[in-house]
Amino acid sequence: MITKTHKIIGSAVVIIALFAIYIFFDRQSRNTDNLPDIYATKATTTTTTTDKNNTDLVNIEGTGNYKIEQVGGGGGIPQPVPDLNRKVTIYAGAMISPEASNLATEKILALQAQLKKDSTDFKAWINLGIYQKMAGDYQGAIFSWQYAGRLAPTNYISLGNLGNLYAYFLKDNGQAEVYYQQAISKAPNQAYLYVQLAEIYRDIFKDLDKARTIVNQGLSKIPNDASLLQLKASLQ
């Protein structure tokens, strides 16, 4: 028999669960404040990328000197700008909860509105692609991240995100490898790029030799990096 107490407890559990989901995604979206300053050179930073489970932003600690330059400061905006009226669709392949679907829809609409006011907002394009990917709109994510790359040609974040998307979701190994290699060429001191590409070589390509090679390449640039050393040991 379901008592009034049981109903109250059940309602409380649902509310707590929904609140936890909101906090998780909202906190992750705010992590874009850790994206590299597109106008400044930094020696140490926290960057962001997406994870292979299609959840949201993942914080990655990186070191090294680099500079991300944004084009269009003199009024020239790269054309064409992706369609900011693109319909928000939650694709069946996304396999996310109704709560997460609502959150993705809300975030995409808000970011589209934000970019209509300022289409040169690099961080907003990165975030838009993340939520489009979450919704299963992979083509939309490609448009967003490719445009972010045009806005900031020296950035590696959009390239790493595209590599991840092509590897784990679009199953295009060739494109995944190309994007990761491009990202590494722009940010050779970002250990997570070597780690992610090595994992793709190991798990998707089934090529341990390539995985070891890219890890060693990373260690040549970032000696004694703990994540690379740990991965190297696992590949022996």
Each domain of the chain, given as residue ranges in start order, spans 4-234
CA 223 – CA 155 distance, rounded (Å) = 23
Partners of 48 in beta bridges: 59
List for the chain the helix, strand, coil content (%; round to 5): 60, 10, 30
CA 57 – CA 157 distance, rounded (Å) = 11
Non-local (6+) Cβ contacts of 108 within 8 A are: 88, 128, 131, 132, 135
Q: Does domain 4-234 have CATH number 3.40.50.300?
A: no
| 104 pLDDT higher than 80 | yes
pLDDT tens-place string over residues 173-230:
999 999 999 999 999 999 999 999 999 999 999 999 999 999 999 999 999 999 999 9
pLDDT tens-place string over residues 37-90:
322 222 223 344 444 433 334 333 344 444 555 655 445 789 999 999 999 999
Whether 97 and 135 have beta carbons less than 8 Å apart is answered as: no
Average pLDDT score, the chain: 79
pLDDT, greater one: 67 or 160 = 160
**Does an H or E element contain 3, and which?**
none
